[in-house]
Structure 1
Amino acid sequence: MTDSSSASRGHGLRRDIDLLEALASDEAQNAGGLGVVRLAQLVGREKTQVSRALKALAAEGIVERDPDTLEYRLGWRLFSLVARTSESRLVRVAEPVMHTLSADLEETSHLCVLSDREVLTLLSVSGHSFRVHGWEGRGVPAWRLSAGRVLLADATPDELYVRFGTTGEMPVQDLWTLIQDARRQGYARVSEEFEEGLVGVSAPVRDFRGRVVAAINISAPKARLGERLDEAGRTTARAAARVSSLLGWEPRRTPLLRARLT
């Protein structure tokens, strides 16, 4: 391969990336897609060139075209590739941040994800001799944990009813209130709600789309952490924001939840 052909291919890849970034923009996400004319304006290229590039990307599943509006959006294959690597990347990115957090607070931190109605712990990092036993891989009802309340931050009221409305454990109205409190504060806190003598705080980790994909949790005996629970919450929120940033999240892209519980 000659230097000129390599440069040409590299330039073509750069132009394709420009198109993908335009389709990932706030404008495209809010509109549900963009047409060829608008994309050509955004990337500064001829409409015919953009049309050819989009057709090639669509043939590979990297973008998709709405048959009704004829507008383009990011495609299934791109999201499939992201999904396959997201969990391992999440753990890899979060672990060093959690080590720092656990050392700063001298408490155990946990990386948690949502699985249906339960919270699962992917990783625990100890910053103290005290360990919350047996958490990794163990599922706990989401409504009982601070982690569950931040992991449900993007849920609509209807989704909460579908997921928890028949459990009878906690009225959905009460759960909604707790979730909104956590959203406003930037972290959730519990004090002996899950286990006597145990307190905890959790903050959300967001991916590049602004969606909550995990929670970082700090749990400890009330005798040791109870009086500094809000301080721990703020510190945990900063750590979670750091992980979110490493995953590509920009605060301005965080979606606003507009649904209301009636």
Structure 2
Amino acid sequence: MFRVVGNNISGVGVLDKAVLILTACVDGASLAELVEHTGLPRATAHRLAQALEAHRMLVRDPRGRWHPGPRLGELSNATPDVLLTAAEPVLAVLRDQTGESAQLYRRRADERVCVAASERSSGLRDTVPIGSVLPMSAGSAAQILLAWEPAEAVLPLLPRCKFTGRTLAEVRRRGWAQSVAEREAGVASVSAPVRDRTGRVIAAISVSGPIERFGRRPGERHAMAVIRAGQRLSGL
């Protein structure tokens, strides 16, 4: 039996059980699945799920499956984003070290969103405004955001991608990605992963600019600076 059991147990029984319920509902769960995933008695799982639903921390779909509720998002939005707060100075340093525009991307389903950026002050540059939505099918940041995903999550996307599974394997091996005119003609980029405390890739940090400055092997010039920037943002 698979159970959602974490290493961090507070000792407050009802709280620990409620967290188990919330964790089990991330992708949706019926009452039977809650019992299976948490190991809790059926009556306990049902009572806690109903209580969390009353507080809008869970909601039920038409099939009766519980999902994360709106209150969780409201609480999350009220909390400063630690990664974005830390990213601003790190991106500025990366921009100054490389002389190129720097960006931070997060994945959103089959897209990636630029959530922070630091632009060159002059000269040719690749401007990616904060909030820009770009495809997961091209670009070094997309490669980073897919390279460490499980195969079953990546394979359906690959037919639409301008890179291959072999490319992603190489990204995993060396720890960084590069692209040359992959997303946009005349533009090159280099990206590295940003990881959470468990080691999961949660974002991609990048530099991008014109090919005439980056060359056809931009990773040779900028990979180490981008990797170090990603490491500074990891584990927050």
Name stretches of at least 5 consecutive residues in structure 1 with no aligned partner.
1-30, 44-49, 248-262
Please list, as runs of the form range in 1=range in 2, the aligned pairs for 1:200-219 lying within 5 A after superposition: 200-219=189-208
Q: CA RMSD in A?
A: 3.4
- Secondary structure of the residue aligned to 2:152 is helix
Number of the residue aligned with 2:167: 178
Task: Identify, as 1 or 2, the structure richer in helix.
Answer: 1
Number of the residue aligned with 1:240: 230
In the TM superposition, residue 62 of structure 1 has moved relative to its aligned partner by 3.8
Post-superposition Cα deviations, 1:218-247, rounded to whole Å, max 9, x if no partner, equal: 0011111226532311210110011003x1
| Correspondent of 2:15 among 32, 57, 62 | 57
**Residues 54 and 63 in structure 1, CA contact (< 8 A), matched pair in contact too:** no
Larger radius of gyration, structure 1 or 2?
Answer: 1
- 1:84 alignment partner AA: S
If the length of structure 2 is used for normalisation, what is the TM-score?
0.68
Question: Is 1:140 aligned to residue 134 of structure 2?
Answer: yes
**Residues 106 and 128 in structure 1, CA contact (< 8 A), matched pair in contact too:** no
Number of the residue aligned with 2:106: 113
| Correspondent of 1:92 among 85, 90, 112 | 85
Partners in 1 of 2:144 and 2:4 — Cα distance?
26
**Residues 121 and 138 in structure 1, CA contact (< 8 A), matched pair in contact too:** yes
Partners in 2 of 1:153 and 1:87 — Cα distance?
28
Question: Is 1:169 aligned to residue 160 of structure 2?
Answer: yes
Post-superposition Cα deviations, 1:50-101, rounded to whole Å, max 9, x if no partner, equal: 8xx3413236x34559745748xxxx97x958x9268822211111111111
Partners in 2 of 1:229 and 1:96 — Cα distance?
22
Identity %: 26
**Residues 201 and 217 in structure 1, CA contact (< 8 A), matched pair in contact too:** yes
Partners in 1 of 2:80 and 2:134 — Cα distance?
19
Partners in 2 of 1:123 and 1:148 — Cα distance?
16
Please list, as runs of the form range in 1=range in 2, the aligned pairs for 1:1-262 lying within 5 A after superposition: 33=5, 53-58=11-16, 61-63=18-20, 67=35, 70=39, 80=72, 84=76, 88-129=81-122, 130-162=124-156, 164=157, 168-170=159-161, 175-226=164-215, 229-245=219-235, 247=236
- 1:198 alignment partner AA: V
Post-superposition Cα deviations, 1:88-118, rounded to whole Å, max 9, x if no partner, equal: 2221111111111111111110011112222
Number of the residue aligned with 1:47: none
Name stretches of at least 5 consecutive residues in structure 2 with no aligned partner.
25-33, 41-51, 58-67
- 1:233 alignment partner AA: A
- Secondary structure of the residue aligned to 1:144 is coil
- Secondary structure of the residue aligned to 2:206 is strand
| Deviating 4+ runs (over 4 angstroms) | 63-71
In the TM superposition, residue 128 of structure 1 has moved relative to its aligned partner by 4.3
Post-superposition Cα deviations, 1:183-229, rounded to whole Å, max 9, x if no partner, equal: 11111001122222211101111112221111111001111122653
Number of the residue aligned with 2:49: none
